[in-house]
């Protein structure tokens, strides 16, 4: 694997790029947590109260991410990470969820 001798950093966009990276990581983790929560619900290992709290928490997290994307002028494509083989962990559309 060839790595560049230097990393191209544009001082004018460095802060925006950092925000995009941080939000992309947060969104990826949120999707992994959501997928795991769905598996736990589907397995029947949670009580109705736990399911209710989990659903509410996931909705609040999704709403907060939407607010942050709007605040920084980003959309889902801006936050897409190429994770190679790990992409299936966050590809919620692949299972219809």
Least confident among 24-28, 42-46, 84-88, 93-97: 93-97
Tens digit of each residue's pLDDT (9 = 90 or more) over 15-24: 888 888 899 9
Q: Identify which of 44, 31, 45, 49 has the alpha carbon closest to the alpha carbon of residue 87.
A: 31
Under 8 Å between Cβ of 22 and 84: no
Task: Give the Cα separation of 52 and 70 in Å (integer).
Answer: 27
Task: Give the Cα separation of 2 and 49 in Å (integer).
Answer: 52
| Entry pTM | 0.67
3-state DSSP assignment of residue 75: coil
Tens digit of each residue's pLDDT (9 = 90 or more) over 60-80: 999 999 999 999 999 988 888
């Amino acid at each position: 694997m060839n790595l560049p001798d230097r990393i191209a950093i544009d001082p004018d966009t460095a802060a925006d790029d950092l925000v995009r990276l941080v939000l992309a990581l947060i969104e990826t983790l949120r999707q992994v947590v959501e997928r795991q929560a769905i598996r736990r619900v589907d397995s029947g290992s949670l009580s109705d109260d736990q399911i209710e709290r989990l659903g509410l928490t996931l909705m609040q997290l999704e709403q907060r991410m939407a607010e942050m994307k709007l605040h920084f002028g980003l959309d889902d494509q801006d936050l897409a990470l190429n994770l190679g083989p790990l992409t299936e962990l966050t590809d919620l559309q692949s299972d219809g969820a």
